[in-house]
Every structure is written in structure tokens, then in C-alpha cells.
Amino acid sequence: MNQAGSKAVAVVLLSGGLDSATAASWARQKGYFLVALSLDYGQRHRVELECARHIAADLGITDHVVLPIDLTAFGGSALTDPQIPVPRGRSPATMAQGIPATYVPARNTVFLSLALAMAETRGAEAIVLGVNAIDYSGYPDCRPEYLDAFQSLAGLATKMGVEGRPVSILAPLVKLAKADIIRLGLNLGVDYGLTSSCYDPDPTGRPCNQCDSCRLRAAGFAAAGAIDPRLTAI
Amino acid sequence: MNQAGSKAVAVVLLSGGLDSATAASWARQKGYFLVALSLDYGQRHRVELECARHIAADLGITDHVVLPIDLTAFGGSALTDPQIPVPRGRSPATMAQGIPATYVPARNTVFLSLALAMAETRGAEAIVLGVNAIDYSGYPDCRPEYLDAFQSLAGLATKMGVEGRPVSILAPLVKLAKADIIRLGLNLGVDYGLTSSCYDPDPTGRPCNQCDSCRLRAAGFAAAGAIDPRLTAI
């Protein structure tokens, strides 16, 4: 099924952003053989999929599925409905006060369920994702208690779970501040110039520098005392 | 968002088969305003999608999303990989002894996660699905404990859950024998001639009468003392 050899296989949910690139590098450093899944879900920031391809190549991942799943069929989010504007200019304190318009209904559940399907067909021991619940936009499906519930579900949902080999849901960044994530990634050699975080980039992929995701990223690089290479990469 | 009026909205996972048609009729009789979701996942029995459209029309459902999600990208099942044969001629006792090749990795988790996304955008109070764990093929994601775990997850995964309005996962058939499902459906006026259960129909949609699903259906109609109208409908 793959060239993992004696290594344990992990499915990495690779969005093309800073966090998932860091989580993928973390998993590789832990010794996992990586396969990757990216979702083409109708996001307005489709440029992240091109980034995901570059990150996968940079990590030597050859089994990278980019799966179309049209969440615009449901709508209800600024990321999948062009009529709903992306919030701009919010402070991190404001972001922590509620669930913003960029929340995509059930997105991480959809993504994790597809990662679970891929994990079972690849014989993977783990699913790795870059969610974090410190410097984030208040999405319910980024919280540790949500991930614990998905871990319980995964054990019951699959043949491998029934057979006593449930997949492990690994979210190594869940309790890290953005600056700590960036420090970790820089130590691991992540090329952040390949990553894109902006929710609403221009057609060339240039970040807006005003959405929650841009602002969290900028604050993180500042706090880590590092320069964001993405700002000069495109 | 819809014409529900004062009725509570339910998202029905409509496969086109006997069970989900029955579950949908049950939900309508309970007073729910129904919206429906069907998944075009690369199943070899795609004829069921045409059935799902007819069933939705018969039930007066106007908000029916048929969503493509290409699970053949992962494979690993007789239903999504033409190289893996569908088991034929198995007895119900044999079916209960293991997870067969028709198991699609994480299928119900993928389906329920997408139903959860639709439920949140439609303001639905419930998700209704036709799984059952009595006369079935031994799939892990049809069991009551699996559904309970998904219920727990749904409360944590979504904005509506965080806001104290978690969606209810309703599986009214989960503990019914196939004959009881058919009796229930006949009482509700389900037109089983519109439904298709076969995993491996011929190109015209005619059932093989040999796969697990055909055999469970035939045994169910026999035990219910009823004639399957599908046998003469096509």
C-alpha cells in the first residue's frame, strides 16, 4: 500500500497553512511515515491547496490526496459563501469572545472523518492535525474536548478500531501559543515561506493582513522574534 | 432558509435504500420538516441515487442535496473498488460473523459529519438515519454505541452545540429486525418499489438477489409476509 517499511504510518491533514505544516514536520520528526490529505472544499482561500502541494513535496510525501468536497452546497460561512464577508481588523482579545463568520459548520468533523477513511485504507496508526485552541478564532472543533470525543468515535467507527487497533488522533499544537508553534517549526526546519494562512488573499495569493488568521500569524512571528518569509515569498 | 414554518427541521440521510426511506417516513410522521442529503461517493450501486431522488419527491422534500464525495480516492471496499468482488450467497448467520468486503472505511462517519454540516446550516434539530444493527452486515458504524459516540461529538463539534442546541442523532430502526422495519414502513405508506438495496445491480438497476443486502431484504419481506414491489417495479 505504501513505502513505509517498518515505520508507522500517519495521515496528516495538510491545509497549506502554518499550523498543519508544523504538525506534519513534528510527526515526521517523531518517526512517522507521512501520507497527506487536503480538502478542496470551496474555500475562498484556495491558494492554500497549492501551498499544501508544495509543503507535501518539501516533506517528501508522495501519497497526497487532494479531495474535492463542495461545502458551498451547505454554505453558512464566510469561507464558503462569497456573500458573507471575512471579518477584518479584529484584535486577538475580540477573537476569543465568540464564534466568527469564518467558522465552517462541522468542518473539522468532515475533515477528520475523511482522514479516518484514509487512515483505515492506508493502515495508519495516527491522524495528525494542526489545530490549536490558544491563539485561534474560537472554533468549537479546535478544542481538546472535541478531539477527545473524536478519538472515542474513531475507536468505534472503524474495522481497525473493532480489531483493537484504533487510530490515534494527534494534535501536537493544541495547547501551544502561536509563537511557540512558530519556534517549534523553525527548529524543525519548516519553510514557512511555503505556507499560506490568509482567509481572503488576493488572486495572486498575497495575504490581506487584516483577517483573524493573518493577524494571529503576524502576532505569532512578532512574539517569536522571527520574520515571516511568506511576506517576501510571493 | 426553508419552508419549515413552526416545524422542527430534520436532515435525513437518504441512501435510496429500504431503511433510510423508512426512517424518513418515520420522521415525517413524527412531525419533522424534512430536508435530505444523499452522497454520491463512487458506489457501484449508483442507481440508489436515482431512487433517493424519487423517494425525496414522494415525501415532498424539496431541499435535497446530492453531494459528490469521491471515496474511491481511498478505496478499500467492494463498494468503491471494482477490483474487490461483492460477496454473494452468504447466509444471515455468516453475515453476523465478521466485517465483510462491502464495508466502506469510515463511511457513516463521513456521512454523519456532512449531515451535521447541513444540519447546522439549516437550523435542524435532528439528523435521521436508517442504520440498523440486527439484520445487517456487521458494520461497526451501525451499532448503537457508535451512534452514541457521534451524538457526544456533535454536541462539541458545532456552534449550535456550544450554544446549547445540539442536534439529536435519531436512528429509529437501529434495534429493529428487517421484517419489523418493513412492517413499520408499510404502515407508514412507504413505496418500497422506489427503493433499491442491491450492492451490485445490473446496469438497468435490477438487483443481483445474491449480495448480503438483497438477501437481507428478501428474508425481511418473507418474514413480514409481504411482496417486495421492487421485484416488479423495474
ipTM of this complex? 0.95
Q: Are B168 and B30 contacting, i.e. CB atoms less than 8 angstroms apart?
A: no
Beta bridge partners of A170: A128
For residue A213, pLDDT over 90 is answered with: yes
Q: What band does A195 get if pLDDT is binned at 50, 70 and 90?
A: very high
For chain B, what is the radius of gyration of the CA atoms?
17
Which domain does A122 fall in, by range?
Answer: 9-233
Mutate to test the interface with A, among B113, B116, B127, B139 (most CBs of A within 10 A): B113
Angle at A166 between CA A164 and CA A168, to 5 degrees: 145
Q: Which pLDDT does position B179 carry in this prediction?
A: 97
Cβ contact (<8 Å) for B110 and A113? yes
Helix, strand or coil for residue B54?
Answer: helix
Which of B67, B71, B156 minimises the CB distance to A140? B156
For residue A190, pLDDT over 90 is answered with: yes
Establish if B201 belongs to a structural domain.
Answer: yes
Q: What is the dihedral of CA B33, B150, A113, B9, to 10 degrees?
A: 10
Establish if B3 belongs to a structural domain.
Answer: no
Helix, strand or coil for residue A52?
Answer: helix
Which of B76, B152, B157 minimises the CB distance to A121? B76
Tell me the average pLDDT of chain A. 94
**Helices within chain A (DSSP H only):** 18-29, 47-58, 92-95, 107-122, 144-157, 159-162, 178-188, 212-224, 230-233
Q: What band does A234 get if pLDDT is binned at 50, 70 and 90?
A: low
Mean pLDDT, range B112-138, rounded to an integer = 94
Smallest CA-to-CA distance from A36 within A70, A69, A60, A19 is with A60
- All three cell numbers of B165, joined, read 442546541
Q: Which pLDDT does position B137 carry in this prediction?
A: 78
Write out pLDDT tens, residues B75-115: 899 999 999 999 999 987 788 778 999 999 999 999 999 99
Q: Least CA distance to B76: which residue of chain A?
A: A121
Q: Least CA distance to A68: which residue of chain B?
A: B69
Establish if B61 belongs to a structural domain.
Answer: yes
Establish if B133 belongs to a structural domain.
Answer: yes
Q: What is the dihedral of CA A56, A32, A39, A152, to 10 degrees?
A: -170
A94/B47: higher pLDDT: B47
CA distance A115 to chain B (A): 9
Query: Any idea what the CATH number is for the domain that residue B82 is in?
Result: 3.40.50.620
Establish if B13 belongs to a structural domain.
Answer: yes
Sheet containing A64-68: give its strands across: A64-68, A33-40, A9-13, A126-128, A168-170
Mean pLDDT, range B158-173, rounded to an integer = 95
Domain total for chain A? 1
Q: Are A34 and A61 contacting, i.e. CB atoms less than 8 angstroms apart?
A: yes
Establish if B1 belongs to a structural domain.
Answer: no
Distance separating alpha carbons of residues B164 and B184, to the nearest angstrom:
33
Cβ contact (<8 Å) for B156 and A149? yes
What DSSP letter does each residue of A105-167 carry, written as one string?
A: TTHHHHHHHHHHHHHHHHT-SEEE----SSSS---GGGSHHHHHHHHHHHHHHSHHHHTT-PP
Cβ contact (<8 Å) for A106 and B113? yes
Mean pLDDT, range A55-64, rounded to an integer = 98
